[in-house]
C-alpha cells in the first residue's frame, strides 16, 4: 500500500524538512525555558545537597542563612554536639561578595568551612581537579564557574588565597559559584572591619575618656575586644541514622533558643520563598511559549494543507476516501512534530551549556514535551483536515 503522506512529503521534502527544523528551534527554546526553570530550582536545592546537613541551626526568628542573614556565636556548636542524636555539628559562614583575582573580580558566594576530613558538613562533595583544603588558612576550593585555575591566587578582603581544588555545580541559590575557604579566614572576611574602619574606631576609642583612662592596658583591651568577632552564620548538623530530624530539631530549639530548620523546611524556604518569583516568571514564559508553539504548528500545517488544496481536490475527484485524506494530513502533522521535537531536543542540549545560568534538561521533561508536541500537532491538524474535507472536488478542474 502506498503511503499518501510519504509520497506527499517526498514530493516537497525540502519544504517539509526546513519547516520541521524551524519548528524544532521553537520547541528547542521551549525545552530550554523548561530547563532554565528546572535549573533555578536545582540551584536552590544544590546548595542544600552541597552542605550535606540534616539540620540547619540559625539565629532565632530568621530564615537564615540563605534567605535571610543570621549571626550566631561560634561556640554554640559545642552544646549542639552534646545533644542526643547529633553526630556532627560544624560552623559555617556564607557571604556573597566580589572575589578579586589578577585582572578582575568574580561574584561568588564565599563559604567558610571547618577544615576537616572529606565529607564533613559544608565541605564540597566532590572535586573535578586538585585537592581539598588541608591547611587551616589561605587555601581555597573554587567552583569551575568562577573561572579560577589551580594554583591561582585570589584575594578575599585582606587575605590572598591559593586555589588548591576545583569543584562543579557548587552554587548558591542565586546561581553564584561558591568559593570554599577555611572558617577562621571566612569569619575574618565577614566580620572583621576593614583597616580604615579599624583605625577610625581606634581613634574614636582613644578619644573617649571612659576607655582611655590611666589604667595600664585598658585601652588596648577595649580596642582588641572591638576588633574581634567570634560569630558564624549557621551550624550544620548531621544526625545519627534513624533519628527523626523533627525531634532533634525540637530539642535544639528548646535548649539553645535558636531557630532550627530541617531539610524539608529548608527546601521550602529556598524553593518557595527565594526562587518562587523568578520561577513563576519563567513558568509564565513557558506557558506563553507553549501556546505560541501550538499556534505556529497549527498555522504551518494549515498553510501546508492549503498549499496543496488543488491536489486534495484531485484526490477527492478520483474518489479517495475522506479518512485517507485526513490520515495523510495527520501523519504529516505528526511527522513534522517528530522532526521538530528531535531538532528541538538536539538544539536545546547543544546550546544549554552556553547559558550563563544552569539549564537542567530532565529526561522526564523531554518525554512530557514530546507528548505535548504530538498532542498539539494532532489538534493543530484538525483545522487543516476540516479545510481539506470541505474542498469541492470541482476545484480540481476549475480555474
Partner 1 sequence: MIRATSRKTVVLTAILGLLGAAFLFVAMRSGPLAPVPVVVAEVKDMAVRPSLFGIGTVEARFTHAIGPTAAGRVRILSVHVGDRVEAGQVLGEMDPVDLDERLAAQNAALDRAAAAVRAADAQVAELRARATYARSQAGRFESLAESGAVSRDSLEARRQEFAVAESGLAAALASAESARHEHERLRSEGEGIARQRDTVRLVSPASGLVTRRLADPGTTVVAGQAVLEVIDPDSLWVNARFDQLRAAGLGAGLPARLVLRSRAGEVLPGRVLRVEPVADSVTEELLAKVVFEHLPDPLPPVGELVEVTVDLPALPPAPTIPGSSVQRDGQTLGVWLAENGEIRFAPVELGPGDLDGMVQVRSGLRSGQQVVSHSKSPLTARSSIRIVDRIEGGAK
Residue ranges that bind partner 1, judged by CB under 8 A: 9-10, 13, 17, 52, 75, 87, 114-119, 125-132, 134-138, 144, 149-150, 164-166, 168-169, 184, 214-216, 230, 241, 339, 342-343, 345-346, 349-350, 352, 361-363, 366
Residues paired with residue 238 on neighbouring β-strands, in sequence order: 88
Task: Identify the helix (H) or strand (E) that includes residue 2.
Answer: none
Which residues are CB-contacts of 5 (< 8 A; sequence separation ≥ 6)? 327, 328, 329, 331, 332, 335
Q: How far is the CB of 91 from partner 1 (least distance, A)?
A: 11
Q: How far apart are the C-alpha atoms of 249 and 54, rounded to whole Å? A: 10
Q: Which is nearer to partner 1, 137 or 386 (CB)?
A: 137
Q: Which is nearer to partner 1, 117 or 209 (CB)?
A: 117
Q: What single-letter DSSP state applies at residue 193?
A: P
Q: How far is the CB of 267 from partner 1 (least distance, A)?
A: 18
Q: How far apart are the C-alpha atoms of 378 and 273, rounded to whole Å? A: 39
Q: How far is the CB of 274 from partner 1 (least distance, A)?
A: 23
CB 223 within 8 A of CB 202: yes
Q: Which is nearer to partner 1, 129 or 382 (CB)?
A: 129
Report how many helices (DSSP H) and strands (DSSP E) the chain contains, helices first: 12, 12
Q: Which is nearer to partner 1, 169 or 316 (CB)?
A: 169
Which residues are CB-contacts of 218 (< 8 A; sequence separation ≥ 6)? 211, 212
Q: How far is the CB of 75 from partner 1 (least distance, A)?
A: 8
Q: Which is nearer to partner 1, 8 or 259 (CB)?
A: 8
Q: How far apart are the C-alpha atoms of 317 and 392, rounded to whole Å? A: 9
Q: How far apart are the C-alpha atoms of 326 and 322, rounded to whole Å? A: 6
Residues paired with residue 140 on neighbouring β-strands, in sequence order: 163
Q: How far is the CB of 316 from partner 1 (least distance, A)?
A: 24
Q: How far is the CB of 284 from partner 1 (least distance, A)?
A: 26
Q: How far is the CB of 118 from partner 1 (least distance, A)?
A: 4
Tell how strand 178-182 and strand 104-113 pair up.
parallel
Q: How far is the CB of 396 from partner 1 (least distance, A)?
A: 22
Q: Which is nearer to partner 1, 131 or 310 (CB)?
A: 131
Q: What single-letter DSSP state applies at residue 85?
A: T
Q: Which is nearer to partner 1, 230 or 291 (CB)?
A: 230
Q: Which is nearer to partner 1, 242 or 319 (CB)?
A: 242
Q: How far apart are the C-alpha atoms of 7 and 194, rounded to whole Å? A: 77
Cis amide leading into 65 (omega within 30): yes
Q: Which is nearer to partner 1, 11 or 193 (CB)?
A: 11
Q: How far is the CB of 363 from partner 1 (least distance, A)?
A: 5
Q: How far is the CB of 87 from partner 1 (least distance, A)?
A: 7
Give the burial class of 129: count Cβ atoms within 10 A of its Cβ; 0-12 exposed, 13-18 middle, 19 or more buried: middle
Q: Which is nearer to partner 1, 114 or 235 (CB)?
A: 114
Rg of the chain over Cα atoms, rounded to whole angstroms, equals 31
Helices within the chain (DSSP H only): 4-11, 13-51, 76-81, 183-191, 195-207, 218-227, 245-256, 263-267, 276-307, 309-317, 322-351, 363-389
CA angle (142, 143, 146) in 5-degree steps: 90
First-residue to last-residue Cα distance in the chain: 32
Q: How far is the CB of 207 from partner 1 (least distance, A)?
A: 16
DSSP of 251-274, one letter per residue?
HHHHHH--EEEEHHHHHIIIIIII
Q: Which is nearer to partner 1, 144 or 326 (CB)?
A: 144
Amino acid at each position: 500500500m502506498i503511503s499518501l503522506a510519504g509520497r506527499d512529503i517526498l514530493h516537497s521534502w525540502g519544504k517539509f524538512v526546513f519547516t520541521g527544523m524551524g519548528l524544532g528551534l521553537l520547541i528547542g527554546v521551549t525545552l530550554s525555558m523548561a530547563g532554565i526553570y528546572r535549573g533555578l530550582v536545582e540551584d536552590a536545592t544544590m546548595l542544600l545537597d552541597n552542605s550535606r546537613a540534616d539540620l540547619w541551626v540559625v539565629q532565632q526568628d530568621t530564615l537564615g542563612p540563605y534567605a535571610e542573614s543570621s549571626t550566631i556565636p561560634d561556640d554554640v556548636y559545642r552544646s549542639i554536639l552534646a545533644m542526643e542524636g547529633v553526630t556532627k555539628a560544624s560552623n559555617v559562614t556564607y557571604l556573597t561578595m566580589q572575589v578579586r583575582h589578577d585582572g578582575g573580580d568574580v561574584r561568588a558566594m564565599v563559604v567558610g568551612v571547618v577544615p576537616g576530613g572529606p565529607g564533613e558538613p559544608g565541605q564540597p562533595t566532590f572535586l573535578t581537579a586538585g585537592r581539598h583544603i588541608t591547611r587551616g588558612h589561605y587555601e581555597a576550593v573554587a567552583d569551575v564557574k568562577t573561572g579560577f585555575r589551580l594554583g591561582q591566587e585570589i584575594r578575599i578582603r585582606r587575605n590572598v588565597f591559593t586555589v588548591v581544588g576545583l569543584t562543579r555545580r557548587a552554587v548558591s541559590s542565586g546561581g553564584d559559584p561558591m568559593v570554599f575557604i577555611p572558617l577562621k579566614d571566612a569569619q575574618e572576611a565577614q566580620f572583621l572591619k576593614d583597616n580604615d574602619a579599624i583605625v577610625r574606631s581606634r581613634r574614636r576609642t582613644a578619644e573617649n575618656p571612659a576607655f582611655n583612662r590611666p589604667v595600664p592596658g585598658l585601652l588596648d583591651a577595649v580596642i582588641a575586644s572591638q576588633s574581634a568577632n567570634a560569630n558564624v552564620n549557621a551550624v550544620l548538623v548531621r544526625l545519627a541514622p534513624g533519628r527523626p530530624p523533627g525531634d532533634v530539631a525540637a530539642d535544639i530549639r528548646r535548649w539553645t533558643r535558636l531557630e532550627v530548620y530541617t531539610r524539608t523546611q529548608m527546601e521550602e524556604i529556598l524553593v518557595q520563598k527565594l526562587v518562587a518569583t523568578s520561577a513563576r516568571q519563567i513558568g509564565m514564559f513557558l506557558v506563553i511559549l507553549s501556546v505560541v508553539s501550538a499556534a505556529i504548528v497549527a498555522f504551518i500545517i494549515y498553510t501546508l494543507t492549503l498549499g496543496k488544496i488543488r491536489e486534495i481536490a484531485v484526490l477527492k475527484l478520483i474518489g479517495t476516501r475522506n479518512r485517507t485524506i485526513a490520515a495523510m494530513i495527520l501523519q504529516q502533522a505528526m511527522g513534522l512534530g517528530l522532526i521538530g521535537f528531535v531538532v528541538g531536543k538536539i538544539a536545546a542540549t547543544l546550546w544549554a551549556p552556553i547559558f550563563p545560568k544552569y539549564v537542567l534538561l530532565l529526561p522526564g521533561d523531554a518525554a512530557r514535551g514530546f507528548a505535548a508536541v504530538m498532542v498539539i500537532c494532532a489538534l493543530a491538524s484538525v483545522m487543516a483536515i476540516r479545510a481539506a474535507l470541505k474542498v469541492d472536488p470541482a476545484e480540481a478542474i476549475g480555474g
